[in-house]
Amino acid sequence: MRAAATATAAALLTPRLTRSAGRARLPSSSSSRPPLRRVAAMASSSFRPEDARSPPALDLPTPPLSKFKVALCQLSVTADKARNIAHARAAIEAAAADGAKLVLLPEIWNGPYSNDSFPEYAEDIEAGGDAAPSFSMMSEVARSLQITLVGGSIAERSGNNLYNTCCVFGSDGKLKGKHRKIHLFDIDIPGKITFKESKTLTAGQNPTVVDTDVGRIGIGICYDIRFQELAMLYAARGAHLLCYPGAFNMTTGPLHWELLQRARAADNQLFVATCGPARDASAGYVA
Q: Which of 73, 81, 101, 107 is catalytic?
A: 107
Q: Residue 51 has what pLDDT?
A: 65
For residue 49, what pLDDT band results from cuts at 50, 70 and 90? low
pLDDT digits (tens, 9 = 90+) for 208-266: 999 999 999 999 999 999 999 999 999 999 999 999 999 988 788 788 999 999 999 99
Q: Residue 138 has what pLDDT?
A: 98
For residue 107, what pLDDT band results from cuts at 50, 70 and 90? very high
Q: Does the annotation mark 174 as catalytic?
A: no
pLDDT digits (tens, 9 = 90+) for 50-80: 666 666 666 677 888 889 999 999 999 999 9
Q: Residue 35 has what pLDDT?
A: 60
For residue 20, what pLDDT band results from cuts at 50, 70 and 90? very low
pLDDT digits (tens, 9 = 90+) for 133-154: 999 999 999 999 999 999 999 9
pLDDT digits (tens, 9 = 90+) for 173-208: 999 999 999 998 777 778 887 778 888 999 999 999
DSSP annotation string for the chain? -HHHHHHHHHHHHSPPPEEETTEEEPPPTTSSSPPHHHHHHHHHHH--GGGG-SSPPPPPPPPS-SS-EEEE------S-HHHHHHHHHHHHHHHHHTTEEEEEPPSS-SS-SSTTHHHHH-B-TTT-GGG-HHHHHHHHHHHHHT-EEE---EEEEETTEEEEEEEEE-TTS-EEEEEE-SS--EEEETTTEEEEGGGT-------EEEEETTEEEEE--GGGGG-HHHHHHHHHTT-SEEEEE----TTTHHHHHHHHHHHHHHHHT-EEEEE-PPP-TTSSS--
pTM higher than 0.85: no
Q: Does the annotation mark 120 as catalytic?
A: no
234 vs 16: which has the higher pLDDT: 234
Domains detected in the chain: 70-275 (3.60.110.10)
1 vs 194: which has the higher pLDDT: 194
Q: Does the annotation mark 181 as catalytic?
A: yes
Once rounded to an integer, what is the mean pLDDT over residues 24-34?
51
| Residue 155 predicted with pLDDT over 80 | yes
| Residue 112 predicted with pLDDT over 50 | yes
